[in-house]
Amino acid sequence: MNNIHPKINKQIDKHPPTGATQMKNILNSVLISFLVIFTFTPTILAQDSSQWHLPDRAKTRYGKGTVREIKYSPDGTMMAVASAIGIWIYDVQTTEALHLLSGHTRAVKSIDFNADGTQIVSGSVDKTVRVWDVAMGIEVNMFTGHTGTVSSVAFSPDGNTIASGSNDKTVRLWDISMGYELHTFTQHTGGITAVTFNHDGTQLASADWDNLMHLFDVNGRTHLRTFTGSQNSIISIAFSPGGTKIASGGLDKKVHLYDVASANKLHTLEGHTSHINSVAFTPNGLMVGSGSHDKTIRIWNVNSGTERMTLTENLSWVNSIAFSPDGKILASADSDGTILVWQGYTIYTARQTRTFTRHQWNWETLLFKRDGKLMAMNAVDNVIRLSEVDTNNLLRTYIGHTDDIRSIDITDDGRYLVSGSRDGTMRLWDVETGSELHTLDKFTGTIDTVVFSPDGKSVAGLVDFQDSNIVIYDVQTGVELRSIRAFALPPLGRPWTFLQAEHSHPVNTIAFSPKGDTIASCSDDETVRLWDVNTGKHLRVMLGHTDDVTHVSFSPDGRVLLSSSRDKTIRLWDVETGTEIHQFSGSSEGTRSVTFSPDGNTIVTGEDDSTIRFWNYHSGKLLHTFIGHRGTVTGLEFSPDGQTLASGSADGTVLIWDTTNLIPSNTLVSLSPVSMVSPEVGEPLTLFLNITGGQNIAGYQAKVHYDTTALRYANSANGNYLPENAFFSQPVVDVNNVQLASVAYGQEVDGDGTLASITFEVIAVKNSTVRLSHVLLTNSTGTGETPQTAFAEITEPPIRPEDVNEDGVVDVSDLLFVAMNFGTHGTHAADVNADGEVNVIDLALVAAAIGSDDSAAPALSNIHPDDMPTRATVQTWLNRARQRNLSDPTFQRGITVLEQLLASLTPTETSLLSNYPNPFNPETWIPYQLSAPADVRITIYASDGTLVRQLDLGYQPIGIYHHRSSAAYWDGKNATGEAVASGVYFYTLKAGDFSATRKMLIRK
């Protein structure tokens, strides 16, 4: 790219050539990594596993999602694949898909097995960390707290702790058994790209986009050292099996090997010609492998730093590599959709190379009808395939392109097919025979968009290299009719300026008008332009968008042009005058693709937030939202009768949707209130499902979608609209939605009212949206109609002065924040009364704002155990406050709350609690609590009464000693330092006159 104008380089960096251009009636998928698992066969479409967890209203899914990472299970019998639509688990020997772990609402970025292979942890663009049971295929835990994409996750070797790294620049530790966050490391200054534990779990390494790698002490929660030397962002890191060395690879194209103890660099391994995406050690630690954007895998000798082998079978850049646990197999995941497996792998040779099946589909897709059957034409792996939608049967292939196919189109009569490719050619095909009719020139550049004129006599292509040219050909002869220069690269040094008759930035896509006499184009220059097909002249420019225009589509009558933009608006333009008719807002992340329904009454938009939205063309009202993709929706295509919609997405799948019965009636079903301030964490939030203008209603069904990071479903009930004897179906709760339904047999109702109520528990105070989908109203005969719908917005409450840590709740954590800043002068969040000093008065004001019931102690449930104030600390706060002796009622209320808090931290009796974990190996914690100060001793005995270990904890004050930071700790060793054997043991707490004994189990 060195010979390209700097401005073009900037645009390419901003919008890489991975599906950034679309066209009318084309699903222009982003060209990203594909997974292939097990021997390739064209009948992959018939595999049932690809249809697992289909979203509602989706009839068929093509593809299993883009792939970010692959991992072998510890015993080597399974392979896990981090996919955009979930985590796929495969049996390595039988090639059978065992499970699709589905629950993340956006693409999965990283996965890891625990040591015994029974669980998988995953991190996602949806900002959550989730834990899955491999055998059952179900989610068993979810951790929230990150504020950005979770880019990397790792299990500790003992399986008790998870580490996660995020774009929010933090590394977090999570306790699996207790279900909460243990610690947050904040030393990074850039987004986290990788995290990994060493062999015994005592150390954690993490890397970021700021070229640095950090090492942390896991038990002590301290930063140990920083590894420097990388000249660009680090993408992947790996510990050697013994934990003495660590490797990193990234944008500087080099593998860096370090000594962990000293942070000294041992070797810099050079040879790759592009950035490195993945590094991994062989199980014996003698070699390290690296997978690169240069389409190679290189194997290096760890001790000598020399390259031992280069594997060049990969046809596209390598996203991930993994060695099997026995070191005999090397697997790699490519961006072109292939996983290559080298069996019988050794240092010197790579034998029995296998190509596994395609996992993701990199499609340009068309829908059309032939002989009454719905057909799909799609392009993947340089080949175009024709298949029948209902049966998934592959009917024909069209072979000839030598690089990725970017766009396809078919004539209305179904006779001719055109395709455009990165190989610089446009090719015309006979649909029936599969034969190539014409190769339309060989261009320098990529054919980003191809489209037939409505009469099928000519075809246009958008050619992008340094300029953007629209070329038009005669279909019968293959002769070029016209070339339109839509954008020309300005000379070096000349500024980019607005041009009246030409785009000033590269063109994204083009579309023919229904009459075929006009072509519309859109560009990153924020404009839409119209061109005369016969003369090639520029007709007019549409101005109004404030960011890149991503897609254009004509209405069926050709009078209106529709455009979408990254400015988050969808705009309608008068074709004749070029003036804006109307605009409405898409998703908060932007709109990528747009189209009209065949009857012109409905607009459909593909959103960057992965949703598909249906809008009333005349009113601009949102009618329906389809939820199912896990990435940007890059293309949309209706069947000719409008009853089927195909959508292509950056998640690597194409979904075929049933769009029957989507034309709305005048009845409105909405959520009420339409906007409300979120209650505090733990409080209920109730919404009402209301109906307006109902006619002959005997039943309803509706799906209510909610943000699982903000709300947890609690319960629902029938409303007052249907008769009291109406049957209310048991709500069906899915991952992020609940389906409600009710029916009054033989009875019909008109007018307005409440269909149902639904109550959630607030788990995080944040902005979120509760949406409706699949709403259907039925009469007494069962005939259904689709109403208009409206959603509800949940907003964050304004920050109260007493909420000093600004988490939306005034609680004990705010007390801790004030106490930590005692003595601070000047402007500070903890200075509640703004007197210029943080002191006990501020503490009392915060305490006064906690709760409203004088009989209730402050809640401690949402306070992390590491942060829990001790009884002595609270007693000190209380003494300081009493010394102030202020008569202000608010201040006195604060003293009362502190007294309640002190009481809640004062046990009424001394007790010994069950150790955790139990069974354990090799360590455990023994919790207890004291109602009076005492010398504390814990004695551990074998089952035969033999003394094993004595833990003298010394004099301890009144208090609760439950968490690992305060409970007694036993490392599973006797007094001489030897690890004890498996079996039953007893432990006794002696505290003053109190004595109690419990049983524990060591299992190895």
CATH topology of domain 66-355: Methylamine Dehydrogenase; Chain H (2.130.10)
Residue 361's nearest CA partner among 110, 81, 34, 791 is 34
Q: What is the C-alpha to C-alpha distance for residues 558 and 554, in angstroms, rounded to an integer? A: 6
Determine how many CB atoms are found less than 10 A away from the CB of residue 641: 12
Q: Which residues contact 433 (CB under 8 A, 6 or more apart)?
A: none
User: How confident is the model at residue 369, as a pLDDT?
Assistant: 61
Determine how many CB atoms are found less than 10 A away from the CB of residue 978: 9
User: How confident is the model at residue 829, as a pLDDT?
Assistant: 85
Q: What is the C-alpha to C-alpha distance for residues 430 and 416, in angstroms, rounded to an integer? A: 5
Q: What is the H or E stretch that residue 645 is in?
A: strand 644-649
Q: Which residues contact 471 (CB under 8 A, 6 or more apart)?
A: 426, 440, 441, 460, 461, 463, 480, 482, 483, 484
Q: Concatenate the DSSP letters of all residues of 773-788 into one string.
A: EEEEEE-TT--EEEEE
CB-based burial, 890-905: b 16+ in 10 Å, e otherwise? ebebbbebbbbbbebb
Q: What is the C-alpha to C-alpha distance for residues 384 and 362, in angstroms, rounded to an integer? A: 11
Q: How far is CA 459 from the centre of its chain?
A: 39
Q: What is the C-alpha to C-alpha distance for residues 63 and 746, in angstroms, rounded to an integer? A: 44
Q: What is the C-alpha to C-alpha distance for residues 896 and 604, in angstroms, rounded to an integer? A: 58
Residue 270 corresponds to which amino acid? E
Q: What is the C-alpha to C-alpha distance for residues 514 and 25, in angstroms, rounded to an integer? A: 12
Q: Cα-flanking dihedrals φ and ψ of residue 144, to 5°?
A: -120, 155
Cis ω for the linkage preceding 673 (within 30 of 0): yes
Q: What is the C-alpha to C-alpha distance for residues 508 and 523, in angstroms, rounded to an integer? A: 5
Q: Are residues 606 and 591 in contact, defined by beta-carbon separation less than 8 angstroms?
A: yes
Q: What is the C-alpha to C-alpha distance for residues 509 and 552, in angstroms, rounded to an integer? A: 7
Question: CB-side exposure of 909: number of CA atoms within 13 Å?
Answer: 6
Q: How far is CA 5 from the centre of its chain?
A: 34
Beta strand 675-677 pairing with 792-795:
parallel
Q: Are residues 607 and 650 in contact, defined by beta-carbon separation less than 8 angstroms?
A: no
Angle, nearest 10°, between helix axes 871-884 and 840-849? 110
Torsion (CA) 50, 53, 58, 61 in degrees, nearest 10: -10
The three-class DSSP label of residue 809 is: coil
Beta strand 959-961 pairing with 569-574:
unpaired
Sheet containing 405-410, strands listed edge to edge, beginning at the edge strand earlier in sequence? 405-410, 416-421, 425-430, 436-442
CATH topology agreement for domains 66-355 and 666-795: no
Query: Could you tell me which residues are beta bridge partners of residue 562?
Result: 553, 572
What six digits make up the tokens of 21?
């251009």
User: How confident is the model at residue 35, as a pLDDT?
Assistant: 23
With a cut of 50, list the residues of the chain below it in pLDDT. 1-47, 347-352, 357, 363, 852-857
User: Can you give 599-612 as a three-state secondary structure string?
Assistant: CCCEEEEEECCCEE
Q: Are residues 390 and 382 in contact, defined by beta-carbon separation less than 8 angstroms?
A: no
What six digits make up the tokens of 396?
């024909």
Q: Tell me the CA distances in angstroms from 680 to 708, 766, 810, 848, 849, one per residue in order.
A: 16, 10, 9, 17, 13
What six digits make up the tokens of 408?
């396809």
Query: Could you tell me which residues are beta bridge partners of residue 426?
Result: 420, 440
Tell me which DSSP letter residue 167 carries: T
Q: Is 799 exposed, middle or buried (0-12, 13-18, 19+ CB in 10 A)?
A: middle
- Positive or negative, the Cα torsion across 861, 867, 870, 874? negative
Q: Which residues contact 331 (CB under 8 A, 6 or more apart)?
A: 70, 72, 79, 321, 322, 323, 324, 339, 340, 341, 342
- Beta strand residue intervals within 681-728, DSSP E: 684-697, 699-705, 711-718, 727-728
Residue the block writes with tokens 């029995």: 352
Q: Which residues contact 386 (CB under 8 A, 6 or more apart)?
A: 375, 376, 377, 394, 395, 396, 397, 398, 431
User: How confident is the model at residue 589, as a pLDDT?
Assistant: 85
Q: What is the H or E stretch that residue 876 is in?
A: helix 871-884
Residue 62 corresponds to which amino acid? Y
The three-class DSSP label of residue 796 is: coil
Q: Concatenate the DSSP letters of all residues of 331-360 into one string.
A: EEEETTS-EEEEET--SS--EEEEE--B-S
What six digits make up the tokens of 42?
């064209």
The three-class DSSP label of residue 557 is: coil
Tell me which DSSP letter residue 744 carries: -
Q: Tell me the CA distances in angstroms from 136 to 98, 120, 153, 177, one per residue in order.
A: 10, 12, 21, 18
> What totals of helices (H) and strands (E) does the chain contain, helices first?
5, 77
Q: Cα-flanking dihedrals φ and ψ of residue 867, to 5°?
A: -100, 0
Cis ω for the linkage preceding 922 (within 30 of 0): yes
Q: What is the C-alpha to C-alpha distance for residues 269 and 279, in angstroms, rounded to an integer? A: 12
Q: What is the assigned CATH class of domain 666-795?
A: mainly beta
Q: What is the C-alpha to C-alpha distance for residues 897 and 879, in angstroms, rounded to an integer? A: 13
CATH 2.60.40.4070 fits 911-1002, yes or no: yes
Q: What is the C-alpha to C-alpha distance for residues 23 and 521, in angstroms, rounded to an integer? A: 9
Q: Are residues 769 and 585 in contact, defined by beta-carbon separation less than 8 angstroms?
A: no
User: How confident is the model at residue 489, as a pLDDT?
Assistant: 77
Tell me which DSSP letter residue 916 carries: B
The three-class DSSP label of residue 636 is: strand
The three-class DSSP label of residue 523 is: strand
Q: What is the C-alpha to C-alpha distance for residues 407 and 395, in angstroms, rounded to an integer? A: 20
Determine how many CB atoms are found less than 10 A away from the CB of residue 436: 16
Query: Could you tell me which residues are beta bridge partners of residue 627?
Result: 611
Tell me which DSSP letter residue 817 carries: H
Homologous superfamily (CATH) of 362-543 is YVTN repeat-like/Quinoprotein amine dehydrogenase (2.130.10.10)
Tell me which DSSP letter residue 691 carries: E
Tell me which DSSP letter residue 652 carries: S
Q: Where are the domains of the chain?
A: 66-355, 362-543, 666-795, 812-904, 911-1002
What six digits make up the tokens of 388?
């029948």
Q: Tell me the CA distances in angstroms from 97 to 211, 759, 835, one per residue in order.
A: 38, 37, 65
Residue 516 corresponds to which amino acid? G
What six digits make up the tokens of 644?
């089927």
User: How confident is the model at residue 664, as a pLDDT?
Assistant: 59
Q: What is the CA radius of gyration of the chain?
A: 32
